[in-house]
Protein backbone atom coordinates (compact mmCIF):
# COMPACT_ATOMS: atom_id res chain seq x y z
CA UNK A 1 0.00 0.00 0.00
CA UNK A 2 1.36 3.39 -0.89
CA UNK A 3 1.97 5.87 1.90
CA UNK A 4 0.36 9.29 1.51
CA UNK A 5 0.40 12.48 3.51
CA UNK A 6 -2.83 13.72 5.04
CA UNK A 7 -2.87 16.53 2.49
CA UNK A 8 -2.46 14.08 -0.42
CA UNK A 9 -5.27 11.87 0.93
CA UNK A 10 -7.58 14.85 1.30
CA UNK A 11 -6.72 16.09 -2.19
CA UNK A 12 -7.40 12.69 -3.75
CA UNK A 13 -10.64 12.34 -1.80
CA UNK A 14 -11.86 15.72 -3.01
CA UNK A 15 -10.76 15.13 -6.62
CA UNK A 16 -12.55 11.81 -6.95
CA UNK A 17 -15.44 11.82 -4.52
CA UNK A 18 -16.51 15.47 -4.55
CA UNK A 19 -16.00 16.44 -8.18
CA UNK A 20 -16.68 13.37 -10.32
CA UNK A 21 -20.13 11.87 -10.69
CA UNK A 22 -18.69 8.46 -11.65
CA UNK A 23 -16.98 8.18 -8.26
CA UNK A 24 -19.28 10.12 -5.93
CA UNK A 25 -20.14 8.42 -2.66
CA UNK A 26 -23.93 8.71 -2.84
CA UNK A 27 -25.88 5.57 -3.72
CA UNK A 28 -28.95 7.23 -5.24
CA UNK A 29 -26.84 9.70 -7.23
CA UNK A 30 -25.44 6.71 -9.14
CA UNK A 31 -28.81 5.00 -9.46
CA UNK A 32 -31.06 7.95 -10.23
CA UNK A 33 -28.78 10.84 -11.17
CA UNK A 34 -30.43 14.22 -11.09
CA UNK A 35 -33.92 12.77 -10.94
CA UNK A 36 -36.89 13.84 -8.86
CA UNK A 37 -37.12 10.19 -7.88
CA UNK A 38 -33.94 10.62 -5.87
CA UNK A 39 -35.75 12.55 -3.13
CA UNK A 40 -38.24 9.73 -2.67
CA UNK A 41 -35.40 7.21 -2.58
CA UNK A 42 -33.66 9.24 0.14
CA UNK A 43 -36.85 9.32 2.20
CA UNK A 44 -37.22 5.54 1.82
CA UNK A 45 -33.61 4.98 2.89
CA UNK A 46 -34.03 7.24 5.92
CA UNK A 47 -37.20 5.36 6.86
CA UNK A 48 -35.42 2.00 6.53
CA UNK A 49 -32.54 3.19 8.72
CA UNK A 50 -34.99 4.42 11.35
CA UNK A 51 -37.00 1.19 11.25
CA UNK A 52 -33.79 -0.71 11.94
CA UNK A 53 -33.09 1.55 14.92
CA UNK A 54 -30.03 3.15 13.32
CA UNK A 55 -29.43 6.70 14.49
CA UNK A 56 -27.89 9.03 11.93
CA UNK A 57 -25.93 12.03 13.10
CA UNK A 58 -27.70 14.20 10.53
CA UNK A 59 -24.56 15.49 8.81
CA UNK A 60 -24.91 13.37 5.66
CA UNK A 61 -27.65 12.21 3.35
CA UNK A 62 -28.89 8.70 4.13
CA UNK A 63 -27.40 7.34 0.89
CA UNK A 64 -23.79 8.28 1.78
CA UNK A 65 -21.82 5.06 1.27
CA UNK A 66 -19.74 5.21 4.48
CA UNK A 67 -22.94 5.74 6.48
CA UNK A 68 -24.57 2.76 4.75
CA UNK A 69 -21.55 0.57 5.48
CA UNK A 70 -21.71 1.67 9.12
CA UNK A 71 -25.39 0.75 9.15
CA UNK A 72 -24.69 -2.71 7.70
CA UNK A 73 -22.06 -3.31 10.38
CA UNK A 74 -24.35 -2.21 13.21
CA UNK A 75 -27.75 -3.59 12.16
CA UNK A 76 -29.40 -6.51 13.88
CA UNK A 77 -28.53 -9.82 12.18
CA UNK A 78 -32.20 -10.56 11.47
CA UNK A 79 -32.83 -7.22 9.69
CA UNK A 80 -32.94 -8.05 5.95
CA UNK A 81 -30.71 -5.78 3.90
CA UNK A 82 -30.25 -8.01 0.85
CA UNK A 83 -31.61 -5.45 -1.63
CA UNK A 84 -29.49 -2.66 -0.16
CA UNK A 85 -26.38 -4.83 -0.26
CA UNK A 86 -26.95 -5.66 -3.94
CA UNK A 87 -27.45 -1.98 -4.74
CA UNK A 88 -24.30 -1.07 -2.82
CA UNK A 89 -22.32 -3.80 -4.58
CA UNK A 90 -23.25 -2.44 -8.00
CA UNK A 91 -22.37 1.14 -7.11
CA UNK A 92 -19.11 0.24 -5.37
CA UNK A 93 -18.12 -1.83 -8.40
CA UNK A 94 -18.73 1.16 -10.68
CA UNK A 95 -16.68 3.43 -8.40
CA UNK A 96 -13.78 0.97 -8.15
CA UNK A 97 -13.67 0.63 -11.94
CA UNK A 98 -13.68 4.44 -12.35
CA UNK A 99 -10.84 5.07 -9.88
CA UNK A 100 -7.27 4.97 -11.19
CA UNK A 101 -5.24 1.84 -10.41
CA UNK A 102 -2.90 3.78 -8.12
CA UNK A 103 -5.65 5.37 -6.02
CA UNK A 104 -5.32 4.60 -2.32
CA UNK A 105 -9.13 4.61 -2.16
CA UNK A 106 -9.46 1.94 -4.84
CA UNK A 107 -7.97 -0.64 -2.48
CA UNK A 108 -10.27 0.31 0.38
CA UNK A 109 -13.36 0.17 -1.82
CA UNK A 110 -12.24 -3.14 -3.33
CA UNK A 111 -12.13 -4.59 0.17
CA UNK A 112 -15.60 -3.21 0.86
CA UNK A 113 -16.85 -4.73 -2.40
CA UNK A 114 -15.49 -8.13 -1.36
CA UNK A 115 -17.84 -8.05 1.65
CA UNK A 116 -20.91 -7.46 -0.52
CA UNK A 117 -22.82 -9.85 -2.82
CA UNK A 118 -21.34 -10.48 -6.26
CA UNK A 119 -22.08 -7.54 -8.51
CA UNK A 120 -21.02 -9.09 -11.78
CA UNK A 121 -21.80 -6.58 -14.44
CA UNK A 122 -22.45 -7.11 -18.12
CA UNK A 123 -19.54 -6.42 -20.45
CA UNK A 124 -19.24 -2.69 -20.92
CA UNK A 125 -20.34 -1.95 -17.38
CA UNK A 126 -23.58 -1.47 -15.53
CA UNK A 127 -26.16 1.02 -16.71
CA UNK A 128 -28.55 2.37 -14.12
CA UNK A 129 -31.83 2.37 -16.03
CA UNK A 130 -33.49 5.10 -13.91
CA UNK A 131 -30.54 7.49 -13.94
CA UNK A 132 -31.28 10.95 -15.29
CA UNK A 133 -28.69 13.50 -16.30
CA UNK A 134 -28.81 17.06 -15.06
CA UNK A 135 -30.57 19.52 -17.32
CA UNK A 136 -27.67 21.57 -18.65
CA UNK A 137 -29.60 23.52 -21.29
CA UNK A 138 -29.19 27.27 -21.30
CA UNK A 139 -31.45 29.12 -18.93
CA UNK A 140 -34.04 31.41 -20.56
CA UNK A 141 -32.61 34.37 -18.64
CA UNK A 142 -29.14 35.36 -17.45
CA UNK A 143 -28.25 34.81 -13.81
CA UNK A 144 -26.45 37.68 -12.17
CA UNK A 145 -25.11 37.78 -8.67
CA UNK A 146 -24.21 41.08 -7.12
CA UNK A 147 -22.19 41.28 -3.94
The pLDDT value given to residue 118: 85
How do residues 26-59 score in pLDDT, each as one tens digit?
Answer: 999 999 988 889 999 999 999 999 999 999 888 9
Query: Residue 26: helix, strand or coil by DSSP?
Result: strand
Query: How many other C-beta atoms lie within 10 A of the C-beta of residue 110?
Result: 14
Regions of the chain where pLDDT drops below 70: 1-2, 120-147
The pLDDT value given to residue 134: 46
The pLDDT value given to residue 93: 93
Amino acid sequence: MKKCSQEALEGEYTRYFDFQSSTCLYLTAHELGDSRKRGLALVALRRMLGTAGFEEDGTELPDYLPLLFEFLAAKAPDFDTTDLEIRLARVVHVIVQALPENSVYRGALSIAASLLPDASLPEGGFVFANREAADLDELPYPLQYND
